[in-house]
């Protein structure tokens, strides 16, 4: 037993040392992390994780809110292994396509609301929002309205960590790093009644926060507005659920 523990401790020490020397972690004070040492997760099953010391942990964050079906699904393991053997990669440029991408696009379109029928694949949420920004601007160019360039977002929104993603986001700490937001992205108040409701009822505050969008469109000029981007519920900003009057206001 003692031997096994010693071996686990040695493994942890060696991994933590290599981590400290070579691995840059996102949104992290590297010096502080190096002093504390990382928690090294080694395996997972269902909703549980195990670290290299053998501690069992409940994964309340589902990875980074993305392991929605839990860990260790054999059907997913089998499908991924089969595809890796058959065709691990191919591009979709130059008139090419491939069955998994076609079938997934079709499946997503069948699940999405009726007016959403076309899918563009990316590698991350940040990349998706970079793509959104370019696609929306290109859309208005092709519609003959090239002045429609400004994207309206919200304070304390999180839309990713790339240049466009962090600009669309409304986190001041991220804006301070890298001279963000980029031109053409503006922000309005977030619908955070608990923190910013100032004596109004949730319903009144929801309407007031929604009104800020119209005010910003009038300020920027309708002919200059390309899109409004918003998380239905702000996730990284604090899991903020807007008052019932906010998203339904039109």
User: Which residue, 155 or 231, is less far from ligand PLP as judged by CB?
Assistant: 231
DSSP state at residue 234: B
**Residues 128-147 close enough to bind ligand PLP by CB under 6 A:** 129
User: Which residue, 154 or 159, is less far from ligand PLP as judged by CB?
Assistant: 159
User: Which residue, 16 or 156, is less far from ligand PLP as judged by CB?
Assistant: 156
Q: Tell the smallest beta-carbon distance from residue 130 to ligand PLP (Å).
A: 10
Q: Tell the smallest beta-carbon distance from residue 241 to ligand PLP (Å).
A: 14
Q: 3-class SS at 58?
A: strand
Q: How many chain residues interact with ligand PLP (CB under 6 A)? A: 10
Does 67 help bind ligand PLP (rule: CB under 6 A)? no
Q: Tell the smallest beta-carbon distance from residue 51 to ligand PLP (Å).
A: 23
Cis peptide preceding 181, ω within 30 of 0: yes
User: Of residues 236, 238, 247, 249, which one binds ligand PLP by CB under 6 A?
Assistant: 236
Binding region for ligand PLP (CB under 6 A) out of 177-185, 198-206, 216-224, 228-236: 228-236
Q: Tell the smallest beta-carbon distance from residue 63 to ligand PLP (Å).
A: 11
User: Which residue, 53 or 62, is less far from ligand PLP as judged by CB?
Assistant: 62
**Residues 153-192 close enough to bind ligand PLP by CB under 6 A:** 158-160
User: Which residue, 221 or 235, is less far from ligand PLP as judged by CB?
Assistant: 235
- Residue with structure tokens 């409940």? 58
Quick check: 250 and 175 in contact, CB under 8 A? no
Cα separation, 195 vs 181, whole angstroms = 24
Quick check: 243 and 202 in contact, CB under 8 A? yes
Q: 3-class SS at 227?
A: strand
What string marks each residue from 90 to 129 as x (binds ligand PLP by CB under 6 A) or -? ----------------------------------xxx--x
Quick check: 222 and 147 in contact, CB under 8 A? no
- CB-count burial class (<10 Å; 0-12, 13-18, 19+) for 129: buried
For 170, other C-beta atoms within 10 Å of its C-beta total 24
User: Of residues 81, 235, 244, 248, which one binds ligand PLP by CB under 6 A?
Assistant: 235
Cα separation, 46 vs 59, whole angstroms = 9
Binding region for ligand PLP (CB under 6 A) out of 12-20, 101-109, 152-160, 192-200: 152-160
Chain length of the chain: 250
CA dihedral of 99, 119, 174, 67, whole degrees rounded to 10: -50
Strands 48-51 and 150-154, sheet pairing: unpaired
Residues that bind ligand PLP (CB under 6 A): 124-126, 129, 158-160, 231, 235-236
């Amino acid at each position: 037993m003692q031997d096994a523990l010693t071996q686990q401790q040695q493994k942890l020490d060696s991994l933590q040392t290599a981590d400290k020397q070579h691995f840059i972690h996102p949104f992290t004070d590297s010096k502080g992390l190096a002093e504390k040492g990382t928690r090294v997760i080694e395996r997972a099953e269902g909703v549980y994780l195990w670290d290299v010391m053998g501690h069992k942990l409940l994964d309340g964050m589902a990875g980074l809110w993305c392991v929605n079906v839990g860990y260790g699904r054999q059907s997913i393991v089998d499908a991924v292994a089969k595809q890796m053997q058959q065709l691990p990669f191919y591009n979709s440029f130059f008139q090419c396509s491939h069955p998994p991408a076609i079938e997934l696009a079709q499946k997503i379109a069948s699940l999405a609301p009726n007016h959403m029928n076309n899918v563009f694949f990316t590698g991350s949420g940040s990349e998706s929002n970079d793509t959104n920004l370019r696609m929306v601007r290109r859309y208005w160019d092709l519609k003959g309205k090239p002045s429609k360039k400004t994207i309206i977002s919200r304070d304390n929104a999180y839309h990713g960590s790339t240049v466009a993603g962090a600009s669309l986001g409304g986190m001041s700490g991220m804006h301070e790093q890298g001279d963000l937001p980029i031109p053409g992205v503006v922000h309005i108040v977030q619908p955070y009644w608990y923190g910013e409701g100032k004596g109004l009822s949730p319903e009144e505050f929801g309407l007031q926060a929604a009104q800020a969008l119209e005010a910003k469109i009038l300020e920027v000029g309708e002919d200059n507005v390309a899109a409004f981007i918003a998380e239905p519920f702000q996730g990284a900003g604090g899991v903020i659920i807007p008052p019932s009057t906010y998203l339904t206001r039109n």
